[in-house]
A and B are shown apart, each in its own frame.
Chain A
Amino acid sequence: MSQHFLDQFLFVALPYVCLFTFLLVTVARYRMQSYSYSSLSSQFLENEHHFWAVVPFHYGILVVTAGHLIAFLIPRTILAWNSHPLRLYVLEVSALAFGLLTLVGLVGVIVRRFSNTKIRTVTTFTDWLLFAMLLLQTISGISVALFHPWGSAWFASNLSPYLWSIFKLGPDVTYVAAMPHMVKFHIVLAFLTIGFFPFTRLVHVLVIPNPFLWRKPQVVRWYRKR
């Protein structure tokens, strides 16, 4: 029974709390404190190791996150792709490679921030907490990939329906209840990260500047009508 309640709490209540926190706080922060939306780059203070930490981390985490999103959105296509073993291996190995790239980059980011006193002074408690969460999440993700193969297959068949059930407001925990502990940990931490997201520097992900690619080069603002 207690296991049932724990599952209900971790995989129904917590996701909703985190998702609503994410939605409400990002919007409120953008409307009331748009000044605080910044990537808070530290390249100016330290430019030697910046490239080797920040670039692998970003490329790694972007590809891995996109992979999760694709498996969530089009699970059947993924399953069809995986029907041939060779294609399954290709997918799994590349996912693991980008996971490791994320880990290398993230460790680089943390070491760089900790060892350089100038950047350490502009690193807040929230930043450190966020780094700890991301580090645990990356490590747990890599362990899942290593010890519970073939994640691309069972994510599409079992986790994708669970996530859809959350978004369709009819949460069904039967899919996740049977998952190994490491996978459960990864899911819970993912929701916690989403809930923590709007309070951190991560909000810069939401303001990636798409219009730049097709706007006119020069920006002129008029205060009178023209």
Chain B
Amino acid sequence: MDVRSQVSMVFHLDKCIGCHTCSVACKNIWTDRKGADYMWWNNVETKPGTGYPTKWEDQSKYNGGWHSNGNGRLRIKSIGKARIVPNIFHNPHMPSMDDYYEPWTYDYQNLFNAPEGSDQPTAEPISMIDGKKIDVQSGPNWDDDLGGSPLYAANDPNLEGLTEQQKLQLSSVERLVFFYLPRICNHCLNPCCVASCPSGALYKRGEDGIVLVDQKKCRAWRSCVSACPYKKVYFNWFTGKSEKCILCYPRLETGQAPACFHSCVGRIRYLGVLLYDADRIEDVAKLPDDELVEGHRSMILDPHDPEVIANAKKCGISDGVIEAAQNSPVYRFVMEWKIALPPHIEYRTLPMLFYVPPMSPVQASKEDDVIHHSSDNLFHDIDSSRVPMQFLANLFGAGHEGVVRYALAKQKAVRWHRRAETVGDIDRETADRMLREADCTREEAEEIYKLTALCTYEDRFVIPPMHREQAIEMMKEPHEHREETGFGFVGGPQRGM
């Protein structure tokens, strides 16, 4: 048993209000630079919708992730070892800027410098790449809230396999229903970006599992961009290097939550340590689609089990990290309650960011332009939820409903339980039956309720002790390196020499 620790995440979609505060916090800290201007290490997508880059989930177009051919071989869908030699000059599956958008600003100087004329001067949009005037065709969150059109939703790859009935469910109340899907790098256990990098520039940090790009080793072969099925590695068009979410490791090392977590208005984000068995990564990644979610869970170890603790210590994991794993909110959502699920696990990268699927109860229906409220049937039938089960299953269950149904049923039971406790218009027996059917107890329901609704900063973020920052301070004097680009860099990042 090779026990390793991984800083893991849970996003509670039922609480996301789609405000993009996370994206803005991230952008201001990390990607407000030339070449990184189009990057959104954190972005929030409207679902159903096409996402960013456009239709990133359509692997028939992008060929991201791993392919398991069933007889025990796992290969990179885009370009693995054998195919890198003829394809290194031109990457056949690489998305281009057209799949994202051309970053632009406005010609503000014209407001001051325009010659006197009969009209007010305007600030026209100009490209941030070549400075020319552009006709803006797409931009960040272009399809936010579906942009008032059903087109983006209709092109969502997750709609595959939905029955006509389920598609009607989506727009049963006047307009199409939608929810939000905030996305950052999943810091996978079997990262395709790392495996595909010809230079070995991408790596996973052993101590906390954060996946990073070594900027000094990246040679712009671009394999990672194609290989990542979540399209969370971005190519910096100015410096010629790949960049990605760093899970704000400088913040984590000083005991702070990552910026997107810290700034989250809906408090949907949870961060904590999971211990897992690294010996099983390859076997689990090869499992058939319907066994992937369970297999992924089975790799994650119980931090209270004395045998696991003994093995973890043998593998060099410190007491502080083990303690953090025992208090991890992520462990409770993923393993104890089983209501948080990995996104698109069929890509086989074993993502370590889990989502609590959103509830979307029908509280009203429309007949002949008259809205009927149905509050007496509150949260009753998860199958008639506005977001169809199959859609959520395509997102979080590799197309299989079982795990999603379990997570939604338990969330529904918790609501009935709390309704019985606080409002009292539901009798206790019905609530208890709901809990039993959802494999839940009153105690567990209370715990879920507390960590969902009453959670404090310390409840949501249990950051393990990471002593890296202190370690470097023992060798270098940080004040001498102020306003530099970082330890060990002679010049600032630029294109070429």
- Among the interface residues B202, B204, B237, which one has the most CB atoms of the partner chain A within 10 A? B237
In the complex where A47-B94, A54-B89 touch, is A41 in contact with B240 (Cβ < 8 A)?
yes
Q: CB < 8 Å: which of A33, A215, A222 contacts B490? A: A33
Picked from B96, B197, B217, the residue with its CB within 8 Å of the CB of A43 is B96
B204 touches A219 (CB 8 A): yes
Interface residues of B (CB under 8 A from A): 81, 84, 88-91, 94-98, 102, 127, 129-132, 190-191, 194-195, 197-200, 202-207, 215-222, 225, 235, 237-241, 281, 316, 468, 471, 489-491, 493-497
CB-CB under 8 A from B218, the residues of chain A are: 38
Within 8 A of B (CB), among A32-80: 32-47, 50-51, 54-55, 58-59
Binds B, one of A2-10, A116-124, A160-168: A116-124
Q: Convert A177-218 into 0s and 1s, putting 1 for each residue whose CB lies closer than 8 angstroms to a CB of B.
A: 000000000000000000000011100100111011101011
With the chains together, A59 CA to B98 CA distance in Å? 27
Minimum C-beta distance from B489 to chain A (A): 7
- Alpha-carbon separation in the docked complex, A113 to B286 (Å): 43
Q: Is the CB of A45 within 8 A of B129?
A: yes
Contact between B222 and A41, CB atoms less than 8 A apart: yes
Query: How far in angstroms is the closest Cβ of chain A from B76?
Result: 8
Give Cα distance in the complex from A31 to B248, angstroms: 28
Chain A contacts of B197 at CB under 8 A?
212, 219
Q: How far is the CB of B358 from chain A (nearest CB, A)?
A: 33
- Which residues from chain B contact A147 at a C-beta distance below 8 Å? none
Q: Tell me the residues in window 107-161 of chain A with beta carbons closer than 8 Å to chain B beta carbons.
A: 117-118, 120-122, 124, 126
A44 close to B195 (CB less than 8 A): no
The reply to whether B219 and A204 contact each other, CB–CB distance below 8 Å, is: yes
CB distance from B101 to the nearest CB of A (A): 13
Query: Which chain A positions have C-beta within 8 A of B222?
Result: 41, 43-44
How far apart are A148's CB and chain B's nearest CB, in angstroms? 31
Q: Is the CB of B237 within 8 A of A122?
A: yes
Bound together, the chains give a CA A110 to CA B78 distance in angstroms of: 28
A25 to chain B, nearest CB (A): 9
Check B497 against A29 for contact (C-beta < 8 Å): yes
B496 and A46 form a contact (CB under 8 A): no
Determine if B221 and A221 form an interchain contact, defined as CB atoms under 8 angstroms apart: no
* 15 sample A-B contacts, Cβ–Cβ < 8 Å, listed by A number: A35-B216, A35-B493, A40-B496, A41-B221, A45-B237, A55-B89, A58-B89, A120-B130, A121-B131, A207-B219, A212-B199, A213-B81, A219-B194, A223-B205, A226-B206
A225: B residues at CB distance < 8 A: 316
Q: Are A212 and B200 in contact (CB under 8 A)?
A: yes
Query: Does A224 have its Cβ within 8 Å of any Cβ on chain B?
Result: yes
B198: chain A residues within 8 A (beta carbon): 209, 212
7 shortest A-B CB distances, which residue pairs? Answer: A209-B198, A47-B96, A222-B206, A217-B195, A40-B240, A117-B130, A219-B203
User: In this assembly, does A169 line the interface, its C-beta being within 8 Å of a C-beta of chain B?
Assistant: no
Given A118-B130, A120-B130, A226-B206, the answer on whether A215 and B497 have CB atoms closer than 8 Å is no
Q: With a CB–CB cut-off of 8 A, which chain B residues contact A42? A: 237
A contact residues vs B (CB 8 Å cutoff)? 29, 32-47, 50-51, 54-55, 58-59, 117-118, 120-122, 124, 126, 199-201, 204, 207-209, 211-213, 215, 217-226
Q: How far is the CB of A180 from chain B (nearest CB, A)?
A: 34
- Are B199 and A207 interface neighbours, CB within 8 A? yes
Q: Are B496 and A209 in contact (CB under 8 A)?
A: no
B237 near A38 (CB under 8 angstroms)? no
B200 in contact with A51 (CB, 8 Å): no
A43 to B223, alpha carbons, bound, how many Å?
Answer: 12
Residue in contact with A121 in the complex, picked from B129, B215, B221, B241, CB distance below 8 Å: B129
* A55 and B90 within 8 A (CB): yes
**Residue pair B495, A40 in contact (C-beta under 8 Å):** yes
Chain B residues contacting A58 (CB-CB under 8 Å) are 89
Q: Among B81, B204, B491, B497, which residue has its beta carbon within 8 angstroms of that of A220?
A: B204
What residues on A are CB-neighbors of B281 within 8 Å? 218
Contact A45 B241 (CB under 8 A): no
A51 in contact with B199 given A44-B222, A218-B194, A218-B204 (CB within 8 Å): no
Q: Are B468 and A223 in contact (CB under 8 A)?
A: yes
A39 touches B219 (CB 8 A): yes
CB distance from A100 to the nearest CB of B (A): 18
Please report the C-alpha to C-alpha distance between residue A224 and residue B238 in the assembled complex, in whole angstroms.
Answer: 34
State the CA gap A223–B216 with chains docked (Å). Answer: 18
Separation of A44 and B235 alpha carbons in the complex (Å) = 7
Contact A220 B220 (CB under 8 A): no
With beta carbons under 8 angstroms apart, the residue of A38, A120, A217 that contacts B496 is A38
B495 touches A122 (CB 8 A): yes
> For residue A207, which residues in chain B have a CB less than 8 angstroms away from its CB?
199, 219
State in angstroms the CA–CA spacing of A47 and B191 once bound together.
Answer: 26
* B195 neighbours in A (Cβ, 8 Å): 217-218
B191 touches A201 (CB 8 A): no
Question: B97 contacts which chain A residues (CB < 8 A)?
Answer: 44-45, 118
**A33 engages B497 (CB within 8 Å):** yes
Knowing A40-B220, A43-B91, A44-B94, say if A124 contacts B490 (CB, 8 Å): no
> Which chain A residue has the least Cβ–Cβ distance from B200?
A219
Q: How far is the CA of A207 from the CA of B281 in the complex (A)?
A: 30
For the complex with contacts A39-B219, A44-B235, 12 further pairs of A-B residues with Cβ separation under 8 Å are A32-B490, A38-B219, A39-B240, A44-B222, A45-B96, A118-B102, A212-B81, A212-B200, A219-B204, A221-B206, A222-B207, A225-B316
Q: Is the CB of A33 within 8 A of B219?
A: no
Q: State A156–B493 Cα separation when bound (angstroms).
A: 45
- In the complex, which residues of chain B have a beta carbon less than 8 angstroms from the beta carbon of A45? 96-97, 129, 237
B285 to chain A, nearest CB (A): 10
The answer on a CB contact under 8 Å between A209 and B199 is yes
Interface centre among B94, B129, B202, B240 (most CB of A within 10 A): B240
CA distance A212 to B200 in the complex (A): 7
CB pair B496–A126 under 8 Å, yes or no, is: yes
Asked if A221 and B495 make an inter-chain contact with CB atoms under 8 angstroms apart, the answer reads: no
A209 and B94 alpha carbons, distance in the complex (Å) = 19
A59 to chain B: closest residue by CB: B89
Which of the residues B190, B235, B497 comes within 8 Å of A218, measured between beta carbons? B190
Neighbouring A residues of B468 by C-beta, 8 Å:
223
Chain A hits for B490, CB < 8 A: 32-33
Please measure, in the bound complex, the distance between the C-alpha atom of A219 and the C-alpha atom of B206, giving whole angstroms.
9
Quick check: A221 and B205 within 8 Å, CB to CB? yes
Tell me the bound Cα distance from A226 to B200 in angstroms.
20
